[in-house]
A and B are shown apart, each in its own frame.
Chain A
Amino acid sequence: MTKHVSRSEFERLGKRGSYRLGALSLQGVARPSAPRPFRPSFSRTTHGGPIWAWIAASIVGVGLIGATALAGLWFAPLVVGVIGGIAARWGQWRLRVMVPAIVMVSAFGWGAALLDQAARGLPIGATARAIAAIGGLPAFAAVGVAVTLGVAVLLGLVGLWLGRALTPWPPS
């Protein structure tokens, strides 16, 4: 932002006590900024495929996590996260896309397992409340569900990180 400089300011130039020319910038007279050096970017501007592929992959991930949770394989979100991390590295997909994707897939995966049990007539809400209370948390069903889904999300995110870290950069 530049400040308005009055004409009288210029008339004082060269006189005793006057400003130096270079000091004009201190009064708000902006210099033109230096041009940025060119730095080439190798990231893609797209996110690795059509949207339907992303949706399909997410559904598969949710189904995989949900089904394995019902089978007792509680670490499935981590595995899915690792796969996501490898894919993200190879596909050069950005974290700002992958993190929400893994969060949603992990949470929806365990959430789907809970919904499945609720659909079979089990009192999942009341059980969630009991889990929260026994765990020393506020006795609300939402708390029990949130903590459970939080664990799935944590596993998924750690998996994502591990997958990305372990995967070498693709050849450019």
Chain B
Amino acid sequence: MRNHALWRLVRQVVNVIAATCAAMAVLFVCAAGFWGVPALGRALDPGNGAWTSAVGGRLPASRTLRLPGIVGGATVSFGSHGIAAVNAANEGDAIVALGYLHASFRLAEMDLARRLAEGRLAQLVGSSAVRSDEFELRLGLLRTAQREWAEMPKDGIEARLLESYSIGVNDYLGQLRKNRQWPAIFSLAGVYPADWTPVDSLAVQGELTQELDYTTTPLDYTLLARSLGMTRTMRWFPVLPVNKQNPYDPGPYHPRRLAPLTTTMTTTVSRRPAREIRGTTVAAGLPSVPPAGVAQAAAAMLAQTRALPPGQIHGYPDSNAWAANGPKVSGGGSMLAGDPHLPQTLPSIWFEVAISAPGFYVSGVGVPGLPGVLIGRNRHIAWSLTDTQNQATLFYAERTSKAHPGQYFWRGKWRAMRQVNYTISVRGGAARHLTVNLTVHGPVMTRAGQTVSVDWMGNVPSPDVAVLQQISVAHNFSQFRAALASWRAPAQNFVYADNRGNIGAISAGYYPIVAGGTPWLPMPGTGTDDVVGVIPYTAVPQSYDPPGHVIATANQRPVTAAYPYYIGTTANFFDPGYRASREYAFLDRRSNLTMSGFAALQNNLVDGLAVRLLPSIDKLLRGSAVPTRGGDSPVPPAVWTPMDKQALALLRGWNYSMDPHSAAASIWWALWTDYVYTTFEPWWRSARVPVSLDRTGLAPSTGQASLVEVLERWTLTDQANPAFSPPGNPPGTAASVLRAAFATAVAQLHGKLGGGPSSWTWGKLHSRKFPSLLRAPGLGYGPQAAGGDPWSVDAADGLPVSEAGPSWRMIVQPGTAGHSPPTGWGIYPGGQSENPASPWYENLVADWWNGRYLPMPSAGPAVVRGNVLWELEP
């Protein structure tokens, strides 16, 4: 009996302890989270957790808001699609309202962008982002942003814009801290955004610059040269293109003295005075192959970039912008179209808005996190951008020694590396510490095998916000051009049209020129190959009212081979020029174009390479006399299977359009892909190119502009090139490789899609999708069958599923001064709200997908009846 009582007591005690422990554990996890598991109680509380984000899923209602940052008053009017128009009593209030507006609809996107740039992503998403944070802190977007802000005159326009914008964002953050209606990601993670600062905006600017301007091409060149040999590497990845590229600035060019590379926000101080060099400094002859240590360092740095979130390193140069005037445009005047191609996500990178205040009016798209409009129009001019694609990333192999720890050798002396220490907070894990070493060239990116630093133009302070503001108030080309003189990075082709019927383009930005001759490879860091200046602004590619009445930029090399300065190699992501060719062909042949004509071109799916090459390919496939290497005996006619014949017939009857319903498009794409692969893959295999280190930059694929260009050239004019006879294979020609590729393509298509050739439609092979910015499955759009390929104006890249593309399509008629007002149409895939529960989350996708446009909003005191109106008062 006594035992029974004792046992019962023990059981009770154990039960009490166990229940208390379980309750405390559950309470702890629900209150604070544990090792990556969010604080479930707080996060999922229906009253205060992630569920409160439902409030942001409702459409906004008309209301009056009192914002501490507003001085004179402002209104925000929303059209039925959610496009906003800000009208304010002064420019400062307009920018405060813009900050408030961006934060209201894109707070999570803004916070993610600044975290990414400042190396604080792991604090929100956990250990998976540590490598990204390490990379960004090494590269130095945060350091650059801090320097920019520190050096910026606080009474200048840029500082005032950045501060006004921050006030607007913080007004909204203040409201959220009271009502707890945070976007779901913050409630679920239990990590909430800090106040917005001007440095955050500058960091977002840096992140955009990185996305457009940071390249790893010299690292790829290193690995290619180490495996293929320097001769083949430079023959297959030449500095200058071997095909026709339709540069928009055909010359003549006038070499001028280099301009100094200004490394401060002010335009008068320079750390690196320019040398008395006129023109290019590219070395004649073949450079030597980089040593093994540099290759090891290159591999390590490529591994760093692989750890970045998608889209952080520029990959697909598919943007378009063109302008026409005079007889090309219906009614005279000018017209401009632009479609920047960027990663397409939900929400979009863009936020469409019109902003007006006395003396200030602009309508277009901007980036949440930045004050102003990047692409758009005002009452006098319109502009759009494409990436210039010049080389802005230079790598230096620093000389170090065990006898001089923490030092590097530069210009005859051992010098101490400057060190910067960072602590990376990790959600659900221990904080990491990172020490970044800095040389005179820039941050040391790796010490694996060889100490390598990077001199990247994105780390040069660039007053982009001030430039965009000046563009917004420009009335004519001289003001537009003068504003862009201060633009340093990322180098962009700014295409222009105005209401006096003028058109123009300037590839503004820094083009670094080095003293040595091989900037496309890692260079010695001892001082012999340093940057000695930049191309002077008067000599950067530009054009104004060309005689043909057309300017088109499609990421092609903007100048001819006669241009006297080095701006990058064919492997530096310059587009092969096929899209530019289509644009010039379309615009040159037509006159009296209207908005619908421009829209037709923007949505055009014709493959420019196919137009150029397919007739010759057809001849080669049919077995007409093709000289072989070392003789002129023809290649014997091929033996075709019935399926081959059907496929060939489809190709011959094709209109070159990469339409999703076209079977010939599939056959062409498969043929070209196999042709590139069959030609180069044996060489790659034989040379053991380490493709896995960077598939985009190293694999022999259609994504390699250089290989596409040389193969186009050989197919048209050099069909017996030795490249068609790889080691271990019998001697070949373009015809024999093409036939093998064709047979492979048909077999692959049959194997993959079954049925006959007429059923192999392009939409079965190619689709588009817009993933969620958070990479949350189910919150994206698609994939859906889609048309286009990298060489159609409506370009699609990253096949078979494209996640980058026309992120914004815009057409503007600036009107005629004193006669007709400017009009603009635009569309981007997505919606104004980042909240997946909002009707404005993806409401613009259908219009974008079907090639439709919406009128760009006009800002002003007049408010359209029925629109939702926010009245912002002090």
Chain A residues with a Cβ under 8 A of chain B: 66, 69-72, 74-75, 78, 110, 113-114, 117, 121-124, 126-127, 129-136, 138-140, 147-148, 151, 154-155, 158-159, 161-162, 164-166
Contacts and interface: CB of A to CB of B under 8 A. Distances in A.
7 contacts: A72-B47, A72-B180, A133-B772, A134-B50, A134-B188, A151-B40, A155-B41
Interface of B: 12, 15-16, 18-20, 22-23, 26-27, 30-31, 38, 40-42, 44-51, 53-55, 57-58, 180, 184-185, 188, 772, 774, 776-779, 835-838
Contact of B779 (A66, A113, A133, A151): A133
A129 B836 contact: yes
Contact of B41 (A126, A133, A147, A151): A151
Given A70-B46, A133-B836, A134-B185, A114 B26 contact: no
Contact of B46 (A75, A110, A136, A138): A110
Q: Identify the 4 closest CB pairs spanning chains A and B, nearest first.
A: A139-B778, A126-B837, A74-B45, A165-B19
Given A74-B42, A164-B19, A131 B27 contact: no
Given A133-B772, A133-B778, A139-B777, A78 B44 contact: no
A74 B31 CA distance: 9
B44 A158 contact: no
A79 B188 CA distance: 23
Contacts of B30: 74-75, 151, 155
B23 A134 contact: no
Contact of A158 (B22, B38, B40): B22
Q: Which of A110, A134, A148 has the most CB of B within 10 A?
A: A134
Given A129-B836, A133-B778, A158 B23 contact: yes
A130 B27 CA distance: 25
A72 to B, nearest CB: 4
Nearest to A81: B23
A131 B47 contact: no
Nearest to A149: B44
A47 B779 CA distance: 48
Nearest to B26: A158
A145 B772 CA distance: 21
A131 B51 contact: yes
Contacts of A166: 16, 19-20
A127 B41 contact: no
A165 B20 contact: yes
Contacts of A75: 27, 30-31, 41
Contacts of A123: 54, 57-58, 837-838
Contacts, number: 130
A161 B15 CA distance: 9
Contact of B184 (A130, A155, A161): A130
A164 to B, nearest CB: 7
A117 to B, nearest CB: 6
Contact of A148 (B16, B23, B44, B54): B44
A157 B837 CA distance: 32
A166 B13 CA distance: 9
B46 A131 contact: no
Contacts of B54: 117, 122-124, 126-127
A134 B834 CA distance: 13
B837 A130 contact: yes
B597 to A, nearest CB: 40
Contacts of B19: 158, 161-162, 164-166
Given A121-B58, A124-B54, A148-B51, A131 B41 contact: no
Contacts of B185: 134
Q: Which among B46, B48, B54, B777 has the greatest number of chain A C-beta atoms within 10 A?
A: B46
A147 B48 contact: no
Contact of A154 (B15, B18, B26, B50): B26
A114 B837 CA distance: 15
Contacts of B23: 78, 158-159, 161-162
A113 B184 contact: no
A131 B185 CA distance: 8
B46 A117 contact: yes
B16 A131 contact: no
B50 A113 contact: no
A78 B766 CA distance: 52
Given A74-B41, A122-B57, A133-B778, 11 more contacts: A78-B26, A123-B837, A127-B184, A127-B836, A129-B778, A131-B50, A131-B51, A148-B44, A161-B22, A165-B12, A165-B15
A158 B38 CA distance: 19
A101 to B, nearest CB: 18
B687 to A, nearest CB: 42
Contacts of A158: 19, 22-23, 26
Contact of B26 (A121, A130, A155): A155
Contacts of B45: 69, 72, 74
B664 to A, nearest CB: 37
A138 B57 CA distance: 20
A102 to B, nearest CB: 13
B58 A78 contact: no
A139 B779 contact: yes
Contacts of B180: 72
